[in-house]
Structure formats: structure tokens, C-alpha cells
Amino acid sequence: MTVAWAFDAILAATVLAVACWTMAIRDTFAAVVGFVAYGLLLALVWVRLTAPDVALTEAAIGGGLTGVLLLGAAARLRPAQAAAAAETPGLALRLVTGVGCALISAALAAAVLLLPDPAPSLAPAAVADLPAIGVGNPITGVLMAYRALDTLLETVVLLLGLIGVWSLTPDSFWGGVPGPQHPARTDDALVFLARLLPPVGIVIGVYLLWVGKDEPGGAFQGGALLAAMWLLAMMAGLAKAPPTSRRWLRLVLVAGPLVFLAIGLAGLALAGAFLAYPEAYAKPLIMIIEVAKMLSVAATLGLLVAGSPERTPSR
Amino acid sequence: MAEFLLAAAAVVLAMVALGLVRILLGPSAVDRMMAAQLLGTGGIAVLLLLAQATGMSATIDVALTLALVAAFASAAFVKSAPGPDGPKAADEA
Amino acid sequence: MSLVLDIFTVLAVSTGAFFFLAGTVGLLRFPDALARLHALTKADNLGLGLVVLGLLPRADGALGALKLIVVWLLVLLAGATVSQLLARVARRAGPSA
């Protein structure tokens, strides 16, 4: 019974308790608070599993952005909450759902517990080829070099998600400003926070991008942090949400996937295969892609949480 | 020393887990938000202690990110708390 | 010298953990929301501050120590302003909270 075992036991018990409570509670606001708490605890779990990259992403996205997204959804659903609570599914449906969930949990548990020990792993091979690419972080190597196609498709999928959210706009507001109006007040504590925090957040976001080549970090985590800072400024009324019809906004949104695609196609000409990097230029090219990706991810995530346009732009 | 730091992290984590009971009990939205705030600060303390105990210095970066994100999430909670506060009642200082 | 630093770390971290305990007890046992908020800020400022202070001698280099202090300053800033916001929500909700 070592200290590490005790720590992990407390952590696992807390995560399970918070998850069960979040599912059981009826009030949506309380459930979202529980969900954000769950995200923060999961970041601790990832750190204990020695995956700091994933912990960074979980903290930024699960702890912050998803929570705020759910808060917005809960606020929009509040008028209908009474009606939704009144309709309870029948006993048969609940039994079937319960059995289905139990089966899935059992399958997942079996898959994890029956893993061969030691588990077959490609980690040594991934690390062995890193000097050729020039980055020191094996996660970045996998994301940007070995499986760059997956990362390119993921950036496009994120953009498609945003287009999906925008497609819910009523016709009269198309091209309008997302989110409710937040009045700016100059003597408020929130405005004070939104004045001091974003500069620090931007520095740390760029730091995460830069340090991601050799240490845990990367463009996605940095971009998520930038999006959170932008949303904070919007919530305090210090920054106005841009109308979705602005050309510069749309350019920033597509810059990431476009740069990635362009470098990939250039690789066809210069290095013989799509998304192959010429030998000596791998690291600078990866950095260019990461910078563009960070800006796009920041803009996309920020707009995803801001929601579909609700107001006409005031010209 | 590493054992002691890990034990301290376990103690802080246990404290934070206890504080989560306040999320459970409520009774008002403010109490739940306060428990989430404690979780954020406690989680940062746990991460800093873990970073030193296990030697993974990247964990300090996770603590940095968590500090910023916890502030952002708390501000969002206050903005969307059910009750008299929220975007509509924003005119009185 | 390193023994002195180790004792310093142990003392500071233990006191920090104690303040976390105090903050949690306050959060659970105080009668109303504003009093609980008061207890919470003790955990924020003193608890984390003492933990950071205890870890400073063991930080790797100036950058590591700077990161630790920046984390504490950020939590201070966020805690101070969020306490104001939470107190306003608690005050509006009335004495029943």
C-alpha cells in the first residue's frame, strides 16, 4: 500500500463519484459545474498516466471550452426545461438503455484488462526516427509527420463542425454576430479580469505552441487557450464578437487547413509523396503549419462556443 | 522527499474531494461554483506537487493552463448562473 | 544546506496542505455562502502560496521558479476577481443562500 497507490485510489474514487453525481443531478447548471469538475479531475488522471499532452488538451478543452459551450446550451434550453423534465421515458426503454450501457462498459473493461502484458507498442520505433524530422516531442512527431494526414483531416473536420453550427442560423441573421450582447462596464471585476488575463494567456498559448516541438504542448492546446482568452474578453464586453460575414474572419478560419494542404501538395513535388517533408526543411515547415493551425483552431473553437449568429451586424 | 511530496498531493486531493461535497449539497448555485473553484486551485497544487514528485516538469505547464482555464470557467459560470444575475441583469454595478 | 532546504520544503508544503484543509472545512461547515467564500480564499492564497514557496528551492533553474510564481500570481488574480463576482451573485440571491 504505497503512497502512489493511495493517491491513485483517491483520484479514481473522486472521478467516479463526480461522474455519477453529474449524471444523476436534475438541475442543468449544477450538472455543467459537475462536468467541468470532472474535466479538471480527468486532467489529473492523464498526468498520472504520464500523458501531459493529453492533460493539457483536457484542461483547456474539457475544463473550459466544453463547459462554457454546455452552459450556453443549458441557458438556451432553460425555457423548455420544465417540459423536457416532464416527459420521462418508459420503463422498457430505460431497461434496454441500462443493459446496453452495461454491455459496453463490460466490453471496454474486458478490452483493457485482457491486454497482453507488456502491451505491443510502436513507441520505440516512433522515437527512433525523430532526429530525422528534427522535433523532440514524439507526440508532435506522430501528429505532424507520421500521421499528418489524420491531423489535416481533423483540422478540416473542426471547420466542418463550425459550418454545421452556422447552418442553424435563421435566414434573417445570416452573416450576423454570434452570441448575446454583453454590455461593457468599466468598473466591473470581470472587466478587470478580462483586461489582465488575456495578455498572459496569449503569451502562455504561444509558449505552449513553441515548446510543443520538444516538450509536451502543441498548436491545438495553444489554440484552445487563445480561444478561451478571446471568449473571456467577449464575455466582459471588451471585445465584440465579429460578424460571421467578415472576410478576414473567414480567411483566418481556413488558413490552417489551407496552409497544411498547400505544404502537403508541395511535398508531392519536392519530396515525392503527399505530406512528405523535404529532408532539411521538415522542422521549419512543421512550425509554419503549427502556427497557421493554432490561429485557425483558436478562431474556430472561439466561434464554436460563441454559437450561431443571433444578431444582425450593426453596420 | 518524493514520497513526502506525493503524500502531500494525496492529502490536498482528499481535501478537494471533500470540498466537492459542497457541489453536491448546494444549496445555491454560488456554493457549487465555489466548490469548482476550490477544485481548480487544489488541482493546481496537486499538479505542482506531482511535477516535483515524479520529475515530469511538463506538469507545471498543465498547472499554468489549468490556472487560466479555471479563471475563464469561473467567469463563465458567474455570467450564466441562474437567478437574478446573468446577461440581462448586467446594468447595475 | 540541502537538509535545511528539505526541512523548509516539508514545513512549507505541510502548512500549505493544512490551509487547504482549513479552506475545505470552512467550505463545508460555514453557515452561509459569503462566509464559505471567505474560507475558500484562504485556501487559494495561503494554501497554494505556501505550497509554491515550499517547491521553489527544488525548482529547476530560474525558468522553473518563475513558472511556479506565475502560476501562483495567476491563481491570486483569478481568485480575487472571481470572489468579487461570486459575492455579487450570492448577495443578489439573498440571505437564504
The set of cell numbers assigned to B7 is 503524500
Residue A175 φ/ψ, nearest 5 degrees: 85, 5
Q: What is the pLDDT of residue A110?
A: 92
List, for residues A5-40, the tens digit of each pLDDT value.
899 999 999 999 999 998 888 888 888 888 999 999
Q: Please tell me the distance from the alpha carbon of residue A247 to that of residue A243, in angstroms, as a whole number.
A: 10
Domain boundary assignment for chain B: 2-79
B32 neighbors B23 (Cβ within 8 angstroms):
yes
State the total domains in chain A: 2
> Sorting pLDDT into bands at 50, 70 and 90, what band is A314?
low
User: How far are the Cα atoms of A25, A54, B69, C24 from residue A61, in angstroms, in the given order?
Assistant: 23, 10, 9, 27
| B55 phi, psi to nearest 5 deg | 80, 5
C17 and C51 Cβ atoms separated by less than 8 Å: yes
User: Is residue A99's pLDDT more than 90?
Assistant: yes
Q: What single-letter amino acid sits at B27?
A: P
Rounded Cα distance between C94 and B29, Å, is 12
Q: Residue B82 has what pLDDT?
A: 66
B 45-64 → C contacts, CB under 8 A: 45, 48-49, 52, 57, 60-61, 63-64
Residues A61 and A174 in one domain: no
User: Quick one: average pLDDT of A123-133?
Assistant: 82
Say yes or no: A25 and A135 in one domain: no
Q: What is the Cα Rg of chain A in Å?
A: 22
For residue A258, what is its C-alpha cell? 489551407
Q: Which residues of C touch B92 (CB under 8 A)?
A: none
- pLDDT given for residue C26 in this prediction: 84
- Look at residue A298 in the predicted model and tell me its pLDDT: 93
Note whether A206 and A283 are same-domain residues: yes
- Nearest-Cα distance to chain C for B3, in Å, is 11
Give the per-residue pLDDT at A296: 93
Q: Average pLDDT, stretch A99-109?
A: 95
Beta-bridge mates of residue A178: A309
pLDDT at residue number A90: 84
A196 CA to chain B: closest CA distance, Å?
11
Does any CB of chain C come closer than 8 Å to the CB of residue B12? Answer: yes
Could B68 and A17 be called an inter-chain contact, meaning their C-beta atoms sit closer than 8 Å? no
Residue A181: inside a domain, yes or no? yes
Query: Containing domain of residue A214, as a range?
Result: 129-315
Contact call for A200 and C78, based on CB within 8 A: no
Residue A95 clears pLDDT 50, i.e. is over it: yes
| Sequential DSSP letters for C38-86 | HHHHHIIIIIHHHHHHHHGGGSSHHHHHHHHHHHHHHHHHHHHHHHHHH
Q: What band does A187 get if pLDDT is binned at 50, 70 and 90? A: low
Q: Is B20 on the interface with C (CB under 8 A)?
A: no
Which pLDDT does position B61 carry in this prediction?
92
Parent domain of C65: 2-93
State residue A143's pLDDT score: 85
Are B59 and A52 in contact, with CB atoms under 8 Å apart?
A: yes
Neighbours of A291 (CB within 10 A): 18
Instruction: Read off the C-alpha cell for B84.
Output: 437574478
pLDDT, residue C72, reads 92
Cβ of B62 within 8 Å of Cβ of A67? The answer is no
* Interchain CB contacts (distance < 8 Å): A and C: 17
pLDDT of residue A85 exceeding 80: no
Percentage of the residues of chain A whose pLDDT score is greater than 70: 97
Of the candidates A74, A37, A73, A72, which has an alpha carbon nearest to the alpha carbon of residue A58?
Answer: A37
What subunits touch chain B, counting only 3 or more CB pairs under 8 A?
A: A, C
Coil, helix or strand at residue A311: strand
pLDDT in tens, A139-164: 888 888 888 888 899 999 999 999 99
**Residue A57 sits in the same domain as residue A166:** no
Q: What is the greatest pairwise CA distance in chain A?
A: 67
C77 to chain A, any CB pair closer than 8 A? The answer is yes
Q: Residue ranges of chain B with pLDDT lower than 50?
A: 85-93
When scoring C75, C83, C91, C96 by the number of chain B Cβ atoms within 10 A, the one with the most, hence best to mutate, is: C75
Cβ distance of A189 and C81 shorter than 8 Å: yes
Chain A positions touching B54 (Cβ under 8 A) are 50
Give φ, ψ of C3 to 5 degrees.
-65, -40
Check CB contact of A153 with chain C, cutoff 8 Å: no
Which positions of chain C have pLDDT values less than 70?
94-97
Q: What is the pLDDT of residues A211-248, one digit of tens each?
A: 888 888 888 999 999 999 999 998 888 888 888 888 88
Please tell me whether the peptide bond between B27 and the residue prior to it is cis, using omega within 30 degrees of 0. Answer: yes
Q: Which residues does chain B have within 8 Å of residue A236's beta carbon, measured at their own beta carbons?
A: 75
The pLDDT score that the predictor gives to residue A117 is: 77
| Rounded Cα gap, residues A285 and A287, in angstroms | 5
Q: What is the mean pLDDT of chain A?
A: 86
pLDDT of residue A300: 92
Minimum distance, in Å, between the CA of residue B21 and any CA atom of chain A: 9
* pLDDT at res. B85: 45
AA letter at B47: L
Residue of B69, B79, B80, B88 to mutate, testing the A interface (most A Cβ within 10 Å of its Cβ): B69
Q: Smallest Cα–Cα separation from B16: which of B39, B48, B50? A: B39
- Please state the domain count of chain C: 1
